[in-house]
Structure 1
Amino acid sequence: MSSPFPRLCIVGAGAIGCTLAARLGTSGQPVSLLARGNTLAALREQGVRLTDLDGTHQVAVRAEADCAALGEQDLIFLCVKAPALAGLLPGLAPLIGPETVVVPVVNGVPWWYFHGETGRFANERVEAVDPDGTLAAALDPAHLLGCVVFITAEVEAPGTVRSGNPHLMILGEPDNRLSPRLEQVRALIEGAGIEARATDRIRDQLWTKIIANLTSNPLSVVTGATLEEIYGEPELRQVAGKILHEALLTAAAYGARVSIDPQSFLDLGAGMGAVRTSMLQDHEAGRPLELAAIGDAVLELAGYQGLAMPVTRDILTLARCRSRHRPA
């Protein structure tokens, strides 16, 4: 059966982008990747290679550095870090047609968080992630499909990725409709061997992932610890637990339902094993950190509700300080 999205592009060829490309390509879906530098060269020469719980998958992809070379797409997965969005999103216009679906696969509070919301926060902007409105202006929100990704992967070499845990993606419309396109994208991902769920409450799932990132990523930069250590070692687990409770209170203030109880949440984190967070990987590689989207934006949302997050704020401060003083 032919794909409902014959023109599919993944923007960003890091750990998540390559995981998606490999799984989709293995299922027979034609995939284009927007990449650059050594990664672009590697993708053109050998395709994308993923080793996960199902084995090793190597597929040929079309790799380009220029949006104009790819032209209009039916489905786009934005697999880039939050700090790159402002410089990237306005330039993606050649990829986007009237019916193009855009799925941001990005950590942290999304710039579109308040889109489709009613009440006092209707169409507000999250200043921490979109301070001047660049992202909101660059893409009509009608194109957006919300996504929460639970994939732990690490780049071993350009275009080559390894993942040691199950893959899960949860998708939902920002206005919470169960639309036909939502089911089409869900089915496409499910057909690629990635567990995929559709929800009519995407912000509930967003908060679950936001809290997972918030309790682990900044703390990993401060300590150098893995998920197993952060959630398993008593001293670090205590700190992670304090951040967890602050974040759960903020999520509840926005009406989000986080279905996992705090102890189970911490136990699940410990069970992920010796995984280095994406932020720790970025810190060690000298790349910008996603502290604004993962941390500052949550503090901003808490502030709107009159809530303080003192432990979270302190850990973010320490992570930011350590990132400024890392070795060149």
Structure 2
Amino acid sequence: MTQPNPLRVCIAGAGAIGCTLAARLVASGQPVSLLARGKTLAALRSDGIRLNDLDGEHHVAVTASDSCQQLGEQDVLFICTKAPALAGLLPELAPLIGADTVVVPVVNGVPWWYFHGTSGRFAGRRVEAVDPQGALSDSLDLRHVLGCVVFITAQTPAPGVVQSSNPHLMIFGEPNGQMSERLERVRALVASAGIEARATERIRDPLWTKIIANLTSNPLSVVTGATLAQLYSQPGLQAVVRKVLEETLLTAAAYGARIDFDPQTFMELGAGMGEVRTSMLQDHEQGRPLELAAIGDAVVELAGYQGLHMPTTLDILSLARFRGALAS
């Protein structure tokens, strides 16, 4: 990338993560455009973003639009939507993407680009649970994609209003493992906004860490209504979480992932997150589609490719899907 500063930065999706990232970037002096719709778009235009995090209050004005044509070509495009929205959104983003645009999907679960840039027997394979018939791969040339794993816990009590009580961390990496110029450019951009930002040659390692955190908490939270502290510390729930954890750790190991924690430490860290309601539980309570395909089904699919079984995980996913259908 050779574009001079300031970069043209757009965030597609103005939920908790998108607004947190936008608010921090704008507060640092980086102009940001937001792609949003409906009540959220109206709120952003009239009141901007109000973020309350560990660094205090941030109230920023942003450029918001529901038209990709109006926003135009960008240097960096962060996609901060829920996984179920990707199939409908990606084709619409074409006007934002030029020859050198870096596209950073900030999405939960197994990403559709998971096997992109890999070698061996899985090279070029699709993850059908998140990319059925290759719809996402066909909508975006994967050479634009920069991998990202986000560890930001935030809630949106109202459109454009975000509350976060935990540190922010984003990890970036090329799908092929190279340390590129564009990787450092995006990392530095996010770091300049006061968000801890790391670059790695092994983006799938932190990706599996996040997958494990999501899969052990999100679906079960829908079934039980429990917070993170309850899921990881209440004896009855803790026993179920441990079974899902063991199944997911085995799958991660089959793909060569290096996980930096032991199971007991992971459980303690989860309990230490406090009385936080998972994003999937929040979606369930508001009648929104659940990210079960990306967070759960795709992991079961990956396990199957290695001849592994995840019986407890499958049971929890079935129960969560039933609960989600009742709320929709």
TM-score, with length taken from structure 2: 0.98
Residues 79-118 of structure 1: pairs in structure 2 closer than 5 A: 79-118=80-119
C-alpha contact 1:177 1:200 (8 A) present in aligned 2 = yes
Question: How far apart, CA to CA, are the structure 2 residues paired with 1:88 and 1:189?
Answer: 24
- The question of 1:155 aligning with 2:161 is answered no
Alignment of 1:139-218 (within 5 A): 139-218=140-219
Partner SS for 1:132: helix
Q: Does 1:266 align with 2:263?
A: no
CA distance in 2, matches of 1:253, 1:68: 43
Q: Is the 8 A contact 1:49 1:160 kept in 2?
A: yes
Alpha-carbon deviations, 1:177-220, whole Å to 9, x = none?
01111111111111101101100000011100001000000000
Give how far 1:5 is off. 5.2
Alignment correspondent of 1:300: 301
Contact kept, 8 Å, 1:9 with 1:32, in 2: the verdict is yes
Secondary structure of the 1:120 match is: coil
Q: Is the 8 A contact 1:89 1:135 kept in 2?
A: yes
The answer to whether the 8 Å contact 1:86/1:134 transfers is yes
Contact 1:172 1:201 in 2 (8 A): yes
State whether residues 6 and 31 of structure 2, in contact with CA within 8 Å, keep that contact through their aligned partners in structure 1.
no
- The two structures, once aligned, show a CA RMSD in angstroms of 1.0
Residue 25 (structure 1) shift: 0.6
- Report the 3-state secondary structure (helix = DSSP H, G, I; strand = E; otherwise coil) of the residue aligned with 2:132: coil
Q: What's the offset of the Cα at 1:323?
A: 1.0
How far does residue 325 in structure 1 lie from its aligned partner after superposition?
A: 1.7
How many aligned residue pairs are there?
326
Task: Provide the rounded CA distance (Å) in 2 between the counterparts of 1:204 and 1:288.
Answer: 27
Task: State, as a whole percentage, how many aligned pairs show the same letter.
Answer: 72
Match of 1:133 in 2: 134
**Alignment correspondent of 1:69:** 70
Q: How does 1:242-281 map to 2 (within 5 A)?
A: 242-281=243-282
What amino acid is the match of 1:200?
E
Unaligned 5+ segments in structure 2 are none
The answer (yes or no) to whether the contact 1:18–1:159 under 8 Å persists in 2 is yes
The 5 A counterparts of 1:314-325 are 314-325=315-326
**SS at the partner of 2:298?**
helix
Moved more, 105-114 or 316-325: 316-325
CA–CA distance in structure 1, aligned partners of residues 6 and 248 of structure 2 = 37
Structure 1: tracts of 5 or more residues without a match: none
- Matched to 2:154, the amino acid is A
> Structure 2: how far apart are the matches of 1:49 and 1:72?
27
Shift of 1:129: 0.2
Structure 1 residue 6 displacement after superposition = 1.9
Contact 2:78 2:104 in 1 (8 A): yes
CA distance in 1: counterparts of 2:192 and 2:300, whole angstroms:
38
The 5 A counterparts of 1:47-58 are 47-58=48-59
Contact preservation (8 Å) 1:211, 1:248: yes
Quote the Cα distance in structure 1 between the aligned partners of 2:169 and 2:4.
21
Q: For the residues of structure 2 that align with 1:136 and 1:212, how far apart are their CA atoms?
A: 26
Within 5 A, what are the aligned runs for 1:26-41?
A: 26-41=27-42
Taking the aligned partners of 2:4 and 2:257, their CA distance within structure 1 comes to 34
Paired AA for residue 141 in structure 2: D
1:211-253: CA deviation from partner (whole Å, max 9, x where unpaired): 1000000000000000010011111111111100100000000
Say if 2:118 and 2:176, in contact at 8 Å, map to a contact too. yes
Cα shift at 1:4: 4.1
| Greater displacement, 177-186 / 212-221 | 177-186
Whether the aligned pair in 2 keeps the contact of 1:171 and 1:182 (CA below 8 Å) is yes
Q: Which residue of structure 2 lines up, in the alignment, with residue 123 of structure 1?
A: 124
Normalised TM-score (structure 1)? 0.98
Deviations 1:24-73 (A, max 9, x none): 01000001000000110110111111000110101111000010000000
